[in-house]
Structure 1
Protein backbone atom coordinates (compact mmCIF):
# COMPACT_ATOMS: atom_id res chain seq x y z
CA UNK A 1 0.00 0.00 0.00
CA UNK A 2 2.81 2.36 0.94
CA UNK A 3 4.65 1.53 -2.28
CA UNK A 4 1.55 2.30 -4.35
CA UNK A 5 1.20 5.68 -2.64
CA UNK A 6 4.87 6.46 -3.24
CA UNK A 7 4.53 5.41 -6.89
CA UNK A 8 1.48 7.63 -7.34
CA UNK A 9 3.30 10.54 -5.77
CA UNK A 10 6.33 10.06 -8.03
CA UNK A 11 4.08 9.82 -11.07
CA UNK A 12 2.25 13.02 -10.13
CA UNK A 13 5.57 14.81 -9.64
CA UNK A 14 6.79 13.41 -12.96
CA UNK A 15 3.72 14.73 -14.75
CA UNK A 16 4.38 18.19 -13.30
CA UNK A 17 7.93 18.34 -14.64
CA UNK A 18 7.05 16.70 -17.97
CA UNK A 19 6.30 20.00 -19.83
CA UNK A 20 9.64 21.49 -18.76
CA UNK A 21 11.46 18.26 -19.68
CA UNK A 22 9.84 18.16 -23.14
CA UNK A 23 10.71 21.84 -23.67
CA UNK A 24 14.33 21.17 -22.65
CA UNK A 25 14.64 18.12 -24.93
CA UNK A 26 13.09 19.86 -27.94
CA UNK A 27 14.84 23.23 -27.66
CA UNK A 28 18.21 22.26 -26.07
CA UNK A 29 19.13 18.61 -26.44
CA UNK A 30 17.77 18.06 -29.96
CA UNK A 31 19.43 21.21 -31.46
CA UNK A 32 22.77 20.27 -29.90
CA UNK A 33 22.62 16.71 -31.23
CA UNK A 34 21.63 18.09 -34.64
CA UNK A 35 24.57 20.49 -34.53
CA UNK A 36 26.94 17.61 -33.76
CA UNK A 37 25.46 15.59 -36.64
CA UNK A 38 25.89 18.44 -39.12
CA UNK A 39 29.45 19.06 -37.88
CA UNK A 40 30.59 15.71 -39.30
CA UNK A 41 28.93 16.20 -42.70
CA UNK A 42 29.52 18.44 -45.73
CA UNK A 43 26.41 20.54 -45.05
CA UNK A 44 26.68 23.98 -46.69
CA UNK A 45 24.62 26.53 -48.58
CA UNK A 46 25.55 24.76 -51.84
CA UNK A 47 24.74 21.29 -50.51
CA UNK A 48 21.71 21.04 -48.23
CA UNK A 49 20.54 17.53 -49.14
CA UNK A 50 22.17 14.10 -49.62
CA UNK A 51 24.84 14.95 -47.07
CA UNK A 52 28.07 12.95 -46.89
CA UNK A 53 29.92 11.91 -43.76
CA UNK A 54 33.33 13.63 -43.62
CA UNK A 55 34.45 12.62 -40.12
CA UNK A 56 36.37 15.26 -38.20
CA UNK A 57 37.48 17.16 -41.29
CA UNK A 58 35.50 20.25 -40.26
CA UNK A 59 37.10 20.22 -36.82
CA UNK A 60 40.60 20.05 -38.31
CA UNK A 61 39.89 22.81 -40.85
CA UNK A 62 38.50 25.01 -38.08
CA UNK A 63 41.99 25.44 -36.62
CA UNK A 64 43.28 26.56 -40.02
CA UNK A 65 40.64 29.31 -40.17
CA UNK A 66 42.21 32.59 -39.03
CA UNK A 67 38.85 34.12 -38.13
CA UNK A 68 37.80 31.21 -35.89
CA UNK A 69 41.22 31.01 -34.20
CA UNK A 70 41.14 34.77 -33.54
CA UNK A 71 37.59 34.38 -32.22
CA UNK A 72 38.64 31.77 -29.66
CA UNK A 73 41.66 33.80 -28.55
CA UNK A 74 39.77 37.09 -28.23
CA UNK A 75 36.87 35.45 -26.39
CA UNK A 76 39.23 33.99 -23.79
CA UNK A 77 40.99 37.36 -23.29
CA UNK A 78 37.66 39.20 -23.11
CA UNK A 79 36.12 36.71 -20.66
CA UNK A 80 39.17 36.70 -18.38
CA UNK A 81 39.38 40.51 -18.16
CA UNK A 82 35.62 40.83 -17.63
CA UNK A 83 35.59 38.19 -14.89
CA UNK A 84 38.48 39.68 -12.92
CA UNK A 85 37.54 43.36 -13.16
CA UNK A 86 33.76 42.99 -12.96
CA UNK A 87 34.09 40.92 -9.79
CA UNK A 88 36.72 43.18 -8.20
CA UNK A 89 35.06 46.50 -9.08
CA UNK A 90 31.59 45.23 -8.18
CA UNK A 91 32.86 44.11 -4.77
CA UNK A 92 34.56 47.46 -4.10
CA UNK A 93 31.42 49.38 -5.09
CA UNK A 94 29.20 47.16 -2.95
CA UNK A 95 31.35 47.62 0.16
CA UNK A 96 31.51 51.38 -0.39
CA UNK A 97 27.74 51.74 -0.97
CA UNK A 98 26.88 49.51 1.99
CA UNK A 99 27.98 52.34 4.27
CA UNK A 100 25.56 54.86 5.75
CA UNK A 101 25.89 57.52 3.07
CA UNK A 102 23.24 60.19 2.50
CA UNK A 103 23.20 59.58 -1.27
CA UNK A 104 23.78 55.81 -1.30
CA UNK A 105 20.37 54.93 -2.79
CA UNK A 106 20.86 57.42 -5.60
CA UNK A 107 24.39 56.14 -6.26
CA UNK A 108 23.20 52.53 -6.28
CA UNK A 109 20.59 53.41 -8.88
CA UNK A 110 23.11 55.34 -11.00
CA UNK A 111 25.62 52.46 -11.03
CA UNK A 112 22.95 49.84 -11.73
CA UNK A 113 21.12 51.82 -14.44
CA UNK A 114 23.35 50.79 -17.43
CA UNK A 115 22.52 47.11 -16.79
CA UNK A 116 18.86 47.84 -17.59
CA UNK A 117 19.62 48.69 -21.22
CA UNK A 118 20.25 46.30 -24.10
CA UNK A 119 23.93 45.83 -25.03
CA UNK A 120 22.99 46.99 -28.54
CA UNK A 121 21.85 50.36 -27.16
CA UNK A 122 25.00 50.59 -25.05
CA UNK A 123 27.04 49.75 -28.15
CA UNK A 124 25.48 52.53 -30.22
CA UNK A 125 25.96 54.97 -27.33
CA UNK A 126 29.67 54.17 -26.91
CA UNK A 127 30.16 54.14 -30.68
CA UNK A 128 29.01 57.74 -30.62
CA UNK A 129 31.19 58.64 -27.62
CA UNK A 130 34.35 56.96 -28.95
CA UNK A 131 34.00 58.10 -32.56
CA UNK A 132 36.98 59.89 -34.14
CA UNK A 133 34.63 62.13 -36.13
CA UNK A 134 33.73 65.66 -35.09
CA UNK A 135 30.80 64.53 -32.91
CA UNK A 136 32.80 61.99 -30.85
CA UNK A 137 32.59 63.46 -27.34
CA UNK A 138 35.66 61.74 -25.86
CA UNK A 139 37.97 62.76 -28.72
CA UNK A 140 36.39 66.21 -28.71
CA UNK A 141 37.46 66.57 -25.10
CA UNK A 142 40.96 65.32 -25.89
CA UNK A 143 41.44 67.79 -28.73
CA UNK A 144 40.12 70.60 -26.51
CA UNK A 145 42.94 69.74 -24.08
CA UNK A 146 45.48 69.86 -26.92
CA UNK A 147 45.86 66.06 -27.10
CA UNK A 148 45.72 63.83 -30.17
CA UNK A 149 42.62 61.83 -31.02
CA UNK A 150 42.52 58.17 -30.04
CA UNK A 151 40.99 55.68 -32.46
CA UNK A 152 39.43 53.49 -29.77
CA UNK A 153 37.51 51.15 -32.10
CA UNK A 154 39.67 51.44 -35.24
CA UNK A 155 43.04 50.61 -33.69
CA UNK A 156 43.62 46.83 -33.62
CA UNK A 157 45.66 47.14 -30.41
CA UNK A 158 42.94 49.09 -28.55
CA UNK A 159 39.63 47.90 -30.01
CA UNK A 160 39.10 44.78 -27.86
CA UNK A 161 39.99 46.61 -24.63
CA UNK A 162 37.71 49.49 -25.60
CA UNK A 163 34.83 47.02 -25.96
CA UNK A 164 35.69 45.49 -22.56
CA UNK A 165 35.60 48.98 -21.03
CA UNK A 166 32.04 49.56 -22.26
CA UNK A 167 30.91 46.25 -20.80
CA UNK A 168 32.58 46.88 -17.46
CA UNK A 169 30.71 50.20 -17.37
CA UNK A 170 27.45 48.38 -18.10
CA UNK A 171 27.69 45.27 -15.90
CA UNK A 172 29.72 46.29 -12.84
CA UNK A 173 26.55 47.79 -11.33
CA UNK A 174 24.78 44.44 -11.73
CA UNK A 175 27.61 42.70 -9.88
CA UNK A 176 27.39 45.39 -7.20
CA UNK A 177 23.70 44.58 -6.57
CA UNK A 178 24.46 40.86 -6.16
CA UNK A 179 27.26 41.65 -3.70
CA UNK A 180 25.08 44.14 -1.80
CA UNK A 181 22.39 41.51 -1.27
CA UNK A 182 25.01 39.17 0.17
CA UNK A 183 26.62 41.90 2.29
CA UNK A 184 23.33 42.88 3.90
CA UNK A 185 22.72 39.28 4.95
CA UNK A 186 25.93 39.16 7.03
CA UNK A 187 25.07 39.49 10.77
CA UNK A 188 26.38 42.73 12.27
CA UNK A 189 27.25 40.83 15.45
CA UNK A 190 30.28 39.38 13.69
CA UNK A 191 31.71 42.85 13.06
CA UNK A 192 30.99 43.90 16.64
CA UNK A 193 32.84 40.82 17.91
CA UNK A 194 35.76 41.58 15.57
CA UNK A 195 35.86 45.19 16.87
CA UNK A 196 36.01 43.93 20.44
CA UNK A 197 38.90 41.64 19.48
CA UNK A 198 40.72 44.65 18.02
CA UNK A 199 40.56 43.62 14.38
CA UNK A 200 41.26 46.40 11.89
CA UNK A 201 38.88 47.19 9.02
CA UNK A 202 41.22 45.41 6.60
CA UNK A 203 41.36 42.31 8.80
CA UNK A 204 37.58 42.32 9.16
CA UNK A 205 37.27 42.33 5.39
CA UNK A 206 39.60 39.33 4.94
CA UNK A 207 38.43 37.31 7.93
CA UNK A 208 34.71 38.15 8.10
CA UNK A 209 33.38 39.79 4.93
CA UNK A 210 35.20 37.90 2.16
CA UNK A 211 34.59 34.35 3.47
CA UNK A 212 30.87 35.08 3.83
CA UNK A 213 30.80 36.70 0.35
CA UNK A 214 32.00 33.50 -1.31
CA UNK A 215 28.54 32.44 -2.65
CA UNK A 216 27.98 35.75 -4.44
CA UNK A 217 31.58 35.84 -5.70
CA UNK A 218 30.97 32.43 -7.26
CA UNK A 219 27.76 33.62 -8.96
CA UNK A 220 29.28 36.83 -10.34
CA UNK A 221 32.57 35.24 -11.46
CA UNK A 222 30.97 32.25 -13.22
CA UNK A 223 28.24 34.30 -14.95
CA UNK A 224 30.84 36.88 -16.04
CA UNK A 225 33.04 34.14 -17.47
CA UNK A 226 30.21 32.44 -19.37
CA UNK A 227 28.81 35.78 -20.57
CA UNK A 228 32.26 36.86 -21.70
CA UNK A 229 32.85 33.67 -23.67
CA UNK A 230 29.55 33.97 -25.56
CA UNK A 231 29.64 37.74 -26.11
CA UNK A 232 28.07 38.75 -29.41
CA UNK A 233 25.69 41.73 -29.40
CA UNK A 234 28.08 44.41 -28.11
CA UNK A 235 30.70 43.31 -30.68
CA UNK A 236 28.10 43.53 -33.43
CA UNK A 237 27.06 47.03 -32.35
CA UNK A 238 30.57 48.45 -31.89
CA UNK A 239 33.02 46.83 -34.29
CA UNK A 240 31.41 43.84 -36.06
CA UNK A 241 34.62 41.94 -35.30
CA UNK A 242 36.98 44.51 -36.82
CA UNK A 243 39.38 46.02 -37.50
CA UNK A 244 40.45 42.83 -39.26
CA UNK A 245 39.84 40.10 -36.70
CA UNK A 246 40.94 42.21 -33.71
CA UNK A 247 37.59 41.95 -31.91
CA UNK A 248 36.30 38.77 -33.49
CA UNK A 249 34.79 36.43 -30.88
CA UNK A 250 33.66 32.82 -30.98
CA UNK A 251 30.06 33.83 -31.56
CA UNK A 252 30.71 36.43 -34.26
CA UNK A 253 33.08 34.06 -36.08
CA UNK A 254 30.50 31.28 -35.75
CA UNK A 255 27.75 33.47 -37.22
CA UNK A 256 29.90 34.68 -40.11
CA UNK A 257 31.19 31.19 -40.97
CA UNK A 258 27.70 29.70 -40.85
CA UNK A 259 25.39 32.36 -42.25
CA UNK A 260 27.57 34.85 -44.14
CA UNK A 261 29.86 32.32 -45.82
CA UNK A 262 27.37 29.45 -45.88
CA UNK A 263 29.69 26.80 -44.38
CA UNK A 264 27.09 25.39 -42.01
CA UNK A 265 29.07 22.27 -41.13
CA UNK A 266 32.17 24.29 -40.14
CA UNK A 267 29.99 26.61 -38.08
CA UNK A 268 28.43 23.59 -36.38
CA UNK A 269 31.89 22.20 -35.60
CA UNK A 270 32.94 25.49 -33.99
CA UNK A 271 29.69 25.47 -31.99
CA UNK A 272 30.41 21.98 -30.63
CA UNK A 273 33.97 22.94 -29.69
CA UNK A 274 32.68 26.13 -28.07
CA UNK A 275 30.20 24.11 -25.96
CA UNK A 276 32.92 21.85 -24.59
CA UNK A 277 35.32 24.77 -24.02
CA UNK A 278 32.70 26.61 -21.96
CA UNK A 279 31.82 23.45 -20.03
CA UNK A 280 35.49 22.73 -19.28
CA UNK A 281 36.31 26.29 -18.20
CA UNK A 282 33.17 26.50 -16.03
CA UNK A 283 33.92 23.16 -14.35
CA UNK A 284 37.53 24.12 -13.61
CA UNK A 285 36.42 27.54 -12.38
CA UNK A 286 33.79 26.08 -10.04
CA UNK A 287 36.37 23.71 -8.55
CA UNK A 288 38.94 26.47 -8.08
CA UNK A 289 36.37 28.76 -6.46
CA UNK A 290 35.19 25.89 -4.25
CA UNK A 291 38.74 25.20 -3.04
CA UNK A 292 39.28 28.94 -2.49
CA UNK A 293 36.08 29.09 -0.44
CA UNK A 294 37.13 26.15 1.72
CA UNK A 295 40.56 27.68 2.29
CA UNK A 296 39.35 31.09 3.46
CA UNK A 297 36.55 29.81 5.69
Structure 2
Protein backbone atom coordinates (compact mmCIF):
# COMPACT_ATOMS: atom_id res chain seq x y z
CA UNK A 1 0.00 0.00 0.00
CA UNK A 2 2.80 2.36 0.92
CA UNK A 3 4.67 1.47 -2.27
CA UNK A 4 1.66 2.21 -4.49
CA UNK A 5 1.10 5.53 -2.69
CA UNK A 6 4.76 6.42 -3.16
CA UNK A 7 4.59 5.51 -6.85
CA UNK A 8 1.49 7.68 -7.37
CA UNK A 9 3.19 10.55 -5.55
CA UNK A 10 6.29 10.24 -7.73
CA UNK A 11 4.14 10.19 -10.87
CA UNK A 12 2.27 13.27 -9.70
CA UNK A 13 5.58 15.08 -9.15
CA UNK A 14 6.73 14.07 -12.65
CA UNK A 15 3.48 15.34 -14.18
CA UNK A 16 3.87 18.62 -12.30
CA UNK A 17 7.36 19.05 -13.78
CA UNK A 18 6.03 18.30 -17.28
CA UNK A 19 2.97 20.56 -16.92
CA UNK A 20 4.68 23.96 -17.60
CA UNK A 21 6.27 22.65 -20.80
CA UNK A 22 2.98 21.04 -21.86
CA UNK A 23 1.05 24.28 -21.26
CA UNK A 24 3.65 26.23 -23.26
CA UNK A 25 3.44 23.69 -26.09
CA UNK A 26 -0.35 23.90 -26.21
CA UNK A 27 -0.37 27.72 -26.17
CA UNK A 28 2.51 28.42 -28.56
CA UNK A 29 2.46 25.38 -30.88
CA UNK A 30 -0.68 23.24 -30.82
CA UNK A 31 -3.27 26.04 -30.67
CA UNK A 32 -1.66 28.18 -33.43
CA UNK A 33 -1.42 25.13 -35.72
CA UNK A 34 -5.05 24.14 -35.17
CA UNK A 35 -6.22 27.75 -35.55
CA UNK A 36 -4.17 28.12 -38.72
CA UNK A 37 -5.81 25.02 -40.20
CA UNK A 38 -9.23 26.49 -39.39
CA UNK A 39 -8.34 29.83 -41.02
CA UNK A 40 -7.13 28.04 -44.16
CA UNK A 41 -10.78 27.35 -45.00
CA UNK A 42 -11.74 31.03 -44.80
CA UNK A 43 -11.32 34.26 -46.79
CA UNK A 44 -9.91 36.17 -43.80
CA UNK A 45 -7.82 39.19 -44.79
CA UNK A 46 -5.77 39.28 -41.59
CA UNK A 47 -7.42 42.42 -40.18
CA UNK A 48 -11.19 42.07 -40.13
CA UNK A 49 -12.86 40.47 -37.13
CA UNK A 50 -15.20 38.50 -39.35
CA UNK A 51 -14.59 36.07 -42.18
CA UNK A 52 -16.45 33.57 -44.33
CA UNK A 53 -15.83 29.86 -44.69
CA UNK A 54 -15.14 29.01 -48.32
CA UNK A 55 -14.34 25.30 -48.09
CA UNK A 56 -11.38 24.06 -50.13
CA UNK A 57 -11.28 27.03 -52.51
CA UNK A 58 -7.93 28.25 -51.13
CA UNK A 59 -6.36 24.83 -51.58
CA UNK A 60 -7.65 24.53 -55.15
CA UNK A 61 -6.06 27.86 -56.10
CA UNK A 62 -2.66 26.95 -54.65
CA UNK A 63 -1.63 24.54 -57.38
CA UNK A 64 -2.42 26.98 -60.19
CA UNK A 65 -0.52 29.91 -58.66
CA UNK A 66 2.64 30.68 -60.67
CA UNK A 67 4.16 32.76 -57.89
CA UNK A 68 3.84 29.87 -55.43
CA UNK A 69 5.44 27.55 -57.98
CA UNK A 70 8.41 29.89 -58.34
CA UNK A 71 8.84 30.27 -54.58
CA UNK A 72 8.62 26.49 -54.15
CA UNK A 73 11.33 25.90 -56.78
CA UNK A 74 13.59 28.50 -55.11
CA UNK A 75 13.02 26.83 -51.74
CA UNK A 76 13.93 23.41 -53.14
CA UNK A 77 17.04 24.85 -54.81
CA UNK A 78 18.18 26.54 -51.63
CA UNK A 79 17.47 23.60 -49.33
CA UNK A 80 18.84 20.81 -51.54
CA UNK A 81 21.98 22.52 -52.83
CA UNK A 82 22.89 24.09 -49.50
CA UNK A 83 22.26 20.91 -47.51
CA UNK A 84 24.39 18.74 -49.80
CA UNK A 85 27.20 21.24 -50.31
CA UNK A 86 27.39 22.25 -46.65
CA UNK A 87 27.51 18.68 -45.38
CA UNK A 88 30.15 17.62 -47.90
CA UNK A 89 32.35 20.55 -46.90
CA UNK A 90 31.63 19.90 -43.21
CA UNK A 91 32.78 16.28 -43.47
CA UNK A 92 36.01 17.31 -45.21
CA UNK A 93 36.52 20.06 -42.66
CA UNK A 94 35.92 17.68 -39.75
CA UNK A 95 38.39 15.17 -41.19
CA UNK A 96 41.02 17.91 -41.38
CA UNK A 97 40.33 19.32 -37.92
CA UNK A 98 40.57 15.93 -36.21
CA UNK A 99 44.14 15.49 -37.39
CA UNK A 100 46.99 16.04 -34.94
CA UNK A 101 47.86 19.65 -35.70
CA UNK A 102 48.82 22.36 -33.21
CA UNK A 103 46.29 24.93 -34.35
CA UNK A 104 43.33 22.51 -34.40
CA UNK A 105 41.43 24.22 -31.56
CA UNK A 106 41.97 27.70 -33.02
CA UNK A 107 40.81 26.51 -36.45
CA UNK A 108 37.74 24.83 -34.95
CA UNK A 109 36.77 28.05 -33.21
CA UNK A 110 37.35 30.08 -36.38
CA UNK A 111 35.20 27.86 -38.58
CA UNK A 112 32.47 27.51 -35.95
CA UNK A 113 32.25 31.26 -35.24
CA UNK A 114 29.94 32.24 -38.17
CA UNK A 115 27.22 29.89 -36.91
CA UNK A 116 27.03 31.83 -33.63
CA UNK A 117 25.79 34.99 -35.32
CA UNK A 118 22.17 35.63 -36.22
CA UNK A 119 21.28 35.03 -39.87
CA UNK A 120 20.08 38.65 -40.00
CA UNK A 121 23.52 39.92 -39.03
CA UNK A 122 25.20 37.54 -41.48
CA UNK A 123 22.81 38.65 -44.23
CA UNK A 124 23.46 42.35 -43.69
CA UNK A 125 27.22 41.70 -43.57
CA UNK A 126 27.25 39.83 -46.87
CA UNK A 127 24.89 42.33 -48.44
CA UNK A 128 27.58 44.94 -47.86
CA UNK A 129 30.33 42.60 -49.12
CA UNK A 130 28.38 41.77 -52.31
CA UNK A 131 27.02 45.28 -52.89
CA UNK A 132 27.52 46.77 -56.39
CA UNK A 133 30.07 49.57 -56.90
CA UNK A 134 31.14 49.81 -53.22
CA UNK A 135 31.15 46.15 -52.14
CA UNK A 136 34.40 44.30 -51.42
CA UNK A 137 33.83 41.75 -54.20
CA UNK A 138 32.98 44.45 -56.75
CA UNK A 139 36.13 46.46 -55.95
CA UNK A 140 38.27 43.30 -55.90
CA UNK A 141 37.05 42.22 -59.32
CA UNK A 142 37.78 45.68 -60.74
CA UNK A 143 41.31 45.63 -59.26
CA UNK A 144 41.92 42.26 -60.90
CA UNK A 145 40.70 43.57 -64.26
CA UNK A 146 37.61 41.34 -64.25
CA UNK A 147 34.01 42.25 -64.94
CA UNK A 148 32.28 42.86 -61.58
CA UNK A 149 29.33 40.65 -60.68
CA UNK A 150 26.12 41.94 -59.15
CA UNK A 151 25.74 38.96 -56.82
CA UNK A 152 22.44 39.95 -55.23
CA UNK A 153 21.03 41.98 -58.13
CA UNK A 154 21.26 39.49 -60.98
CA UNK A 155 18.09 37.31 -61.08
CA UNK A 156 19.99 34.42 -62.69
CA UNK A 157 22.51 34.00 -59.85
CA UNK A 158 20.94 35.64 -56.78
CA UNK A 159 19.61 32.41 -55.23
CA UNK A 160 23.04 30.77 -55.64
CA UNK A 161 24.71 33.77 -54.00
CA UNK A 162 22.43 33.36 -50.99
CA UNK A 163 23.23 29.64 -50.93
CA UNK A 164 26.94 30.50 -50.67
CA UNK A 165 26.20 32.79 -47.73
CA UNK A 166 24.22 30.04 -46.01
CA UNK A 167 27.00 27.51 -46.59
CA UNK A 168 29.57 29.93 -45.16
CA UNK A 169 27.51 30.36 -42.02
CA UNK A 170 26.40 26.78 -41.44
CA UNK A 171 29.38 24.62 -42.37
CA UNK A 172 31.11 25.10 -39.02
CA UNK A 173 28.04 23.93 -37.11
CA UNK A 174 27.74 20.74 -39.16
CA UNK A 175 31.49 20.19 -38.87
CA UNK A 176 31.16 20.24 -35.08
CA UNK A 177 28.61 17.40 -35.31
CA UNK A 178 30.94 15.39 -37.55
CA UNK A 179 33.94 16.05 -35.31
CA UNK A 180 31.99 14.57 -32.39
CA UNK A 181 31.12 11.56 -34.55
CA UNK A 182 34.71 11.06 -35.69
CA UNK A 183 36.00 11.25 -32.14
CA UNK A 184 33.60 8.47 -31.19
CA UNK A 185 35.12 6.02 -33.69
CA UNK A 186 37.53 3.64 -31.86
CA UNK A 187 41.13 4.04 -32.96
CA UNK A 188 41.49 0.26 -32.97
CA UNK A 189 39.25 0.07 -36.08
CA UNK A 190 41.62 2.31 -38.01
CA UNK A 191 44.66 0.40 -36.84
CA UNK A 192 43.06 -2.90 -37.91
CA UNK A 193 42.29 -1.44 -41.34
CA UNK A 194 45.88 -0.25 -41.71
CA UNK A 195 47.17 -3.70 -40.83
CA UNK A 196 44.89 -5.17 -43.52
CA UNK A 197 46.54 -2.85 -46.03
CA UNK A 198 43.71 -0.36 -46.51
CA UNK A 199 44.83 3.04 -47.79
CA UNK A 200 43.42 6.35 -46.55
CA UNK A 201 40.53 6.37 -49.04
CA UNK A 202 39.47 2.80 -48.24
CA UNK A 203 39.66 3.48 -44.51
CA UNK A 204 37.33 6.42 -45.01
CA UNK A 205 34.99 4.53 -47.37
CA UNK A 206 34.65 1.30 -45.40
CA UNK A 207 35.34 2.33 -41.79
CA UNK A 208 34.85 6.05 -41.16
CA UNK A 209 31.84 6.77 -43.38
CA UNK A 210 29.62 3.88 -42.19
CA UNK A 211 30.35 4.66 -38.52
CA UNK A 212 29.65 8.34 -39.20
CA UNK A 213 26.11 7.57 -40.40
CA UNK A 214 24.35 8.62 -37.14
CA UNK A 215 26.07 12.01 -37.26
CA UNK A 216 25.20 12.36 -40.95
CA UNK A 217 21.55 11.61 -40.14
CA UNK A 218 21.43 14.32 -37.47
CA UNK A 219 23.22 16.91 -39.59
CA UNK A 220 21.23 16.24 -42.77
CA UNK A 221 17.90 16.32 -40.98
CA UNK A 222 18.69 19.53 -39.08
CA UNK A 223 20.07 21.19 -42.20
CA UNK A 224 17.19 20.21 -44.47
CA UNK A 225 14.42 21.27 -42.09
CA UNK A 226 16.03 24.63 -41.27
CA UNK A 227 16.86 25.30 -44.94
CA UNK A 228 13.30 24.58 -46.07
CA UNK A 229 12.16 27.17 -43.53
CA UNK A 230 14.77 29.79 -44.47
CA UNK A 231 13.47 33.31 -43.95
CA UNK A 232 15.76 35.75 -42.16
CA UNK A 233 18.72 35.31 -44.53
CA UNK A 234 16.51 36.05 -47.54
CA UNK A 235 14.87 39.07 -45.90
CA UNK A 236 18.19 40.59 -44.81
CA UNK A 237 19.81 40.25 -48.24
CA UNK A 238 17.24 40.59 -51.02
CA UNK A 239 13.74 40.47 -49.46
CA UNK A 240 12.88 38.03 -52.23
CA UNK A 241 14.11 40.21 -55.10
CA UNK A 242 14.99 41.28 -57.63
CA UNK A 243 11.39 40.71 -58.62
CA UNK A 244 10.53 37.30 -57.24
CA UNK A 245 13.81 35.64 -58.25
CA UNK A 246 14.90 34.82 -54.68
CA UNK A 247 11.48 34.55 -53.07
CA UNK A 248 11.01 31.40 -50.98
CA UNK A 249 7.97 29.88 -49.34
CA UNK A 250 8.37 31.62 -45.99
CA UNK A 251 8.84 35.11 -47.44
CA UNK A 252 5.90 34.51 -49.76
CA UNK A 253 3.75 33.47 -46.80
CA UNK A 254 4.58 36.65 -44.88
CA UNK A 255 4.03 38.93 -47.88
CA UNK A 256 0.81 37.16 -48.80
CA UNK A 257 -0.64 37.29 -45.28
CA UNK A 258 0.32 40.83 -44.28
CA UNK A 259 1.12 42.87 -47.40
CA UNK A 260 -1.38 41.10 -49.66
CA UNK A 261 -4.13 40.92 -47.02
CA UNK A 262 -4.80 37.26 -47.88
CA UNK A 263 -4.29 35.59 -44.53
CA UNK A 264 -6.73 32.76 -45.24
CA UNK A 265 -4.98 31.91 -48.51
CA UNK A 266 -1.57 32.12 -46.80
CA UNK A 267 -2.83 29.79 -44.06
CA UNK A 268 -3.75 27.15 -46.61
CA UNK A 269 -0.30 27.47 -48.19
CA UNK A 270 1.38 27.11 -44.78
CA UNK A 271 -0.62 23.93 -44.06
CA UNK A 272 0.45 22.34 -47.34
CA UNK A 273 4.06 23.44 -46.81
CA UNK A 274 4.06 22.02 -43.27
CA UNK A 275 2.81 18.67 -44.57
CA UNK A 276 5.52 18.74 -47.25
CA UNK A 277 8.26 19.32 -44.66
CA UNK A 278 6.88 16.53 -42.45
CA UNK A 279 6.79 14.05 -45.34
CA UNK A 280 10.29 14.94 -46.60
CA UNK A 281 11.72 14.76 -43.07
CA UNK A 282 10.04 11.41 -42.39
CA UNK A 283 11.31 9.91 -45.67
CA UNK A 284 14.85 11.17 -45.08
CA UNK A 285 14.85 9.89 -41.48
CA UNK A 286 13.55 6.49 -42.59
CA UNK A 287 16.20 6.21 -45.31
CA UNK A 288 19.04 7.20 -43.00
CA UNK A 289 17.80 4.88 -40.23
CA UNK A 290 17.78 1.99 -42.70
CA UNK A 291 21.40 2.76 -43.57
CA UNK A 292 22.27 2.88 -39.87
CA UNK A 293 20.61 -0.51 -39.42
CA UNK A 294 22.70 -1.99 -42.23
CA UNK A 295 25.88 -0.67 -40.64
CA UNK A 296 24.96 -2.00 -37.20
CA UNK A 297 23.84 -5.31 -38.69
TM-score by length of 1: 0.95
What is aligned with 2:23?
A: 22
- Aligned-partner SS, 1:248: coil
Contact kept in structure 2, 1:68 and 1:254, CA below 8 Å: no
C-alpha deviation, 1:71, in angstroms: 1.6
What is aligned with 1:177?
A: 176
> 1:229-268, aligned counterparts within 5 Å?
229-268=228-267
Contact kept in structure 1, 2:152 and 2:158, CA below 8 Å: yes
Deviations 1:144-173 (A, max 9, x none): 121111111111110000000001011101
What is aligned with 2:37?
A: 36
Task: Provide the rounded CA distance (Å) in 2 between the counterparts of 1:121 and 1:81.
Answer: 22
Deviations 1:249-282 (A, max 9, x none): 1100000000111111011111111110110000
Task: Provide the rounded CA distance (Å) in 1 between the counterparts of 2:29 and 2:46.
Answer: 24
C-alpha deviation, 1:8, in angstroms: 3.6
What is aligned with 1:204?
A: 203
Contact kept in structure 1, 2:256 and 2:262, CA below 8 Å: yes
Aligned length: 295
What is aligned with 2:108?
A: 108
Pair 1:72-2:52 in alignment = no
- Aligned-partner SS, 2:244: coil
What is aligned with 1:90?
A: 90
Task: Provide the rounded CA distance (Å) in 1 between the counterparts of 2:102 and 2:8.
Answer: 59
TM-score by length of 2: 0.95
Contact kept in structure 2, 1:129 and 1:137, CA below 8 Å: yes
Contact kept in structure 1, 2:46 and 2:264, CA below 8 Å: no
